[in-house]
Structure 1
Amino acid sequence: MRSSHQRSTLSALALSLAVAVSAGGSAQAQDLTGTLKKIKETNAITIGYRDASVPFSYLDGDQKPVGYAFEICQKIAEAVKTNLKLPNLEVKLNPVTSATRIPLIANGTIDLECGSTTNNPDRQKQATFTNTHFLTATRFVAKKSAKLDKIEDLKGKTVVSTSGTTNIRQINEANTARNLGLTILPAKDHAEAFLMVETGRAAAFVMDDVLLASLAASSKEPGAYAISSEALSKPEPYGIMLRKDDAPFKAVVDEATAKLYKSPEGKALYDKWFTKPIPPRGINLNLPMSEAMAKQFATPSDSPDPAAY
């Protein structure tokens, strides 16, 4: 038989264990780290948006951010709100550019970057990405009347691409490898490059196909242009960017994006921005979902490797 002293020691031990267990339960709720902890403490999530990345993230006629990637980020914010049980979560908006997007993710100013950012091994050193929401490839746009569709069709012609892009490097490499005899002109920006095709100073403009679709759709004569069927690159994945080494936040975001892409809502969201008239001017990119993109939505991946698609 235990002495009363032993019994009181045991009951004290049981009580301290019960306290420890209940404290452990509440401690787990408090044991948030990284972005989730920051969002919980501030009751706010900050979305970084682009002002002119049509149709991913851009300003509409009222100067408010809209777009395909922007809507995906809003869905992610909803998932975070549910996960952290924050019914009044504030969604803050912060403009970013191609130069500021990575620094502002890294320093905690923004939590999600919504735009047309390519997920590649180089960027993986500085940030991480959720499941791919778009696959682009380098193609060219030309006037339909010129009947240029394959890279070989460009032989001996003058083409333009935007200076400092991977696209101009790719057309230079193809020119050498295929002995195309091209004259390759660098343009200061996409608008100048497209204007050179419009005015006949260049036969074709080499760039990401989605950007070409946007420029053609916004032009005076959208029906006068055609994008090549042949690509100069493998598919390049675009993803929503997050902070590096933040596995708990990435898990919430990955679950939210995978759920969206696999659902009929994901396909509807794609069609809304790529196959229908979009604000503010009602342009239509006429870019139906590719086979690779349909496969990506069925089995979402965050791989930076073009060969994975």
Structure 2
Amino acid sequence: MKRLKHTAVLLTVILTGILFLAGCSIKKTENRPTITIGCKNDVPGFGLLDTTTGVISGFEIDVASAAARIIYGDDVEIRLQPVTAKTRGPLLDTGELDMVAATFTITDARSKFFNFTQSYYTDHIKLMVRKASGIRSFADLDGCTIGVSQSSTSRQALETAADEQGMTLSFSEYGGYPEIKVALDSGRVDCFAVDGAILNGYLDESALILPDEFESQEYGIAIAKYNSDLAEKADAALTEMKNNGDIKKLMEKWGIT
């Protein structure tokens, strides 16, 4: 009787081991490359979260995803992680993100800390105000408060323009674009300043975008400095997408000009 029990236990151990090894084997064969992309989830047309489905979609999502498939193949698993202007850089540095496609403007200062691909979109800083405010030009904003995103390039560009025209501006920084729009609607700021394509996503009947524009904004895919190999491959992928017309098709798909 004892021998039978011992044999049963032994068979159980052997079977468990076989199943475990089989599980490991399946896991290995199912492994595929994974890339984590930092993106915006509050910019209509570029990267916006559908609160009903939980899906983030937009022009930049498609551009970065297509680049990832060119680099790693169609089987690549793409993970999206929402970022803000303040968090995207640190998350690249820590390795939590492999690349960022999140209205990230290429500048000389930023290029010292991150690898950037070539630009996939060009924009300019623009200004949104309430129609009822009576503000109709940049000059009318003298003494006003401008709402900008944290760590964005908008503030510096407007400070430079204000100095050149002898104007005085105040700034309030916010963590996200919806917050700035709410601040504009409530009168806590007099103007919402950011890239024109982003403002277009927040334009409604109560607001207007001024004709003034400032500093060209070239968007690129950002990758950590220590990952130059991926940066080179991502840049080559964008070249391919420009040459075969894919970038243009994606702009048309999302109504981006």
The two structures share one fold, judged by TM-score above 0.5 = yes
3-state SS in 2 of match to 1:79: helix
CA contact (8 A) 2:93 2:224 kept: yes
Say yes or no: does 1:137 pair with 2:124. Answer: yes
3-state SS in 1 of match to 2:105: coil
The 2-side partners of 1:132 and 1:75 are apart by 15
Distance 1:126 1:204, change over 3 A: closer
The 2-side partners of 1:63 and 1:50 are apart by 14
Distance 1:150 1:81, change over 3 A: same
Q: Could you list the runs of 5+ residues in structure 2 that have no partner in the other structure?
A: 1-30
Partner of 2:248: 267
How far apart are residue 149 of structure 1 and its match?
4.8
Distance 1:197 1:257, change over 3 A: same
> Higher mean Cα deviation, 193-202 or 204-213?
193-202
CA contact (8 A) 1:196 1:202 kept: yes
Partner of 1:45: 34
The 1-side partners of 2:128 and 2:84 are apart by 25
1:161 to 132, 147, 151: 147
How far apart are residue 238 of structure 1 and its match?
1.4
Partner of 1:236: 217
Partner of 1:114: 101
Distance 1:45 1:131, change over 3 A: farther
Partner of 1:77: 68
Partner of 1:174: 161
The 1-side partners of 2:78 and 2:178 are apart by 33
Spell out, residue by residue over 1:146-198, the C-alpha distance to the aligned partner (whole angstroms, 9 max, x if none): 6755423x155634223754423433443333124x56352545444433443
How far apart are residue 51 of structure 1 and its match?
5.2
Give the AA of the match of 2:118: N
Q: After superposition, where does 1:202-281 map in structure 2 within 5 Å?
A: 203-216=190-203, 222-232=204-214, 234-244=215-225, 246-273=227-254, 275=255
Structure 1 runs (4+) greater than 6 angstroms displaced: none
Distance 1:94 1:225, change over 3 A: closer
Give the AA of the match of 2:65: Q
- Quick one: higher RCO (CA 8 Å, sep 6+), 1 or 2? 2
3-state SS in 2 of match to 1:59: strand
CA contact (8 A) 1:49 1:58 kept: no
Give the AA of the match of 2:48: Y
Give the % identical residues.
Answer: 19
Give the AA of the match of 1:64: V
CA contact (8 A) 1:144 1:226 kept: yes
Distance 1:254 1:230, change over 3 A: same
CA contact (8 A) 2:47 2:61 kept: yes
**Root mean square deviation of aligned Cα:** 3.1
The 2-side partners of 1:196 and 1:102 are apart by 26
Spell out, residue by residue over 1:228-265, the C-alpha distance to the aligned partner (whole angstroms, 9 max, x if none): 22213x21211111232544433322222122123333
CA contact (8 A) 1:57 1:114 kept: no
CA contact (8 A) 2:135 2:141 kept: no
How far apart are residue 75 of structure 1 and its match?
0.7
The 2-side partners of 1:241 and 1:123 are apart by 9
Which has the larger share of strand?
2
How far apart are residue 124 of structure 1 and its match?
1.6
The 2-side partners of 1:72 and 1:172 are apart by 32
Q: Could you list the runs of 5+ residues in structure 1 that have no partner in the other structure?
A: 1-41, 217-221, 276-287, 290-309
The 1-side partners of 2:81 and 2:183 are apart by 34
The 2-side partners of 1:74 and 1:241 are apart by 14
The 1-side partners of 2:173 and 2:233 are apart by 41
Distance 1:62 1:244, change over 3 A: same
The 1-side partners of 2:142 and 2:80 are apart by 48
The 2-side partners of 1:188 and 1:211 are apart by 15
The 2-side partners of 1:149 and 1:262 are apart by 40
Distance 1:263 1:101, change over 3 A: same
